[in-house]
Chains A and B, each alone.
Chain A
């Protein structure tokens, strides 16, 4: 069965430091992968997505993610974190039937000054 694992429940990063959020997936074929961000009490906003092609994808708000098939990973990165990036981040994969997204349990990002 398809699944998504986000190993880090909570990460704290200093403002201006770089960020990497980890995501591992279990999937039989080429996955469609997504990263979403959620502010408290709000819905989710799409940061970026990977379908095929270039394994380094650029998203909104200065985020990027790299697809590594050999490691079954799709880690999210940002070179310099801003206080406004504090939120919960979710990695997701589209089911093989293409019917719905399966989400990881999320990583909460705190930004310290």
Chain B
């Protein structure tokens, strides 16, 4: 079955540590997205990529980085510069204006 796989489901980060969240899709979608979800805040766009080797900052890109070396993969790195990284992170992909397909999310907690 086609879909988006996010891993790990739960991730714990120590202060000052960089962590990478994985997002893989087998839908042959061109565009991929990362959103951050906090209680009562909805989804806020971190980064998006419409084609391989190209990506754009969203509304809250500070403290995050991404790469898009393959069509299927769009990993997100939460750097030590992100001062409040505890959140639920959602990856999505789309091929046109039909809407997004979402992964099941990664919950990141700072310990």
B98 to A, closest residue via Cβ = A49
Other-chain contact of B43, A42, A51, A90 (Cβ < 8 Å): A90
B24-49: contact bitstring with A at CB < 8 Å (1 yes, 0 no)? 00000000010100001111110010
CA distance A34 to B90 in the complex (A): 17
- A7-34 contacts to B (CB < 8 Å): 9, 32, 34
**Chain B residues near A98 (CB, 8 Å)?**
97
Contacts of B92 in A (CB 8 A): 43-44
Say whether B42 contacts A105, CB under 8 Å. yes
Contacts of B97 in A (CB 8 A): 32, 51, 94, 98
Q: Please tell me the number of chain A residues within 8 Å of chain B, measured between CB atoms.
A: 23
Which residues of B, 63-109, contact A by the 8 Å Cβ criterion? 88, 90, 92, 97-105, 107
For A42, the closest partner residue in chain B by CB is B104
Question: Would you give the shortest CB distance from A84 to chain B, in whole angstroms?
Answer: 18
B43 touching A43, Cβ below 8 Å: no
Within 8 A of B (CB), among A44-67: 44-46, 49, 51
Asked if A103 CB lies within 8 Å of chain B CBs, one says yes
Q: Does A111 contact B (CB under 8 A)?
A: no
Answer yes or no: A87 CB below 8 A from chain B CBs: no
Tell me the minimal C-beta distance from B2 to chain A in angstroms: 14
A36 to B92, CA, bound (A): 13
- 0/1 per residue, A77-113, Cβ < 8 Å to B? 0000000000000100010001111111110000000
Let me know if B50 is at the binding interface, CB within 8 A.
Answer: yes
* 18 A/B residue pairs, CB under 8 Å, sorted by A: A43-B4, A43-B6, A43-B103, A44-B92, A44-B102, A46-B99, A51-B97, A90-B42, A90-B43, A98-B97, A100-B48, A100-B58, A101-B43, A101-B45, A102-B45, A103-B42, A103-B43, A106-B42
**B residues touching A (Cβ–Cβ < 8 Å)?**
4, 6, 33, 35, 40-45, 48, 50, 56, 58, 88, 90, 92, 97-105, 107
By Cβ-Cβ distance, the 9 closest A-B pairs, closest first, are A43-B102, A105-B42, A103-B43, A44-B102, A103-B42, A43-B104, A46-B99, A100-B48, A43-B103
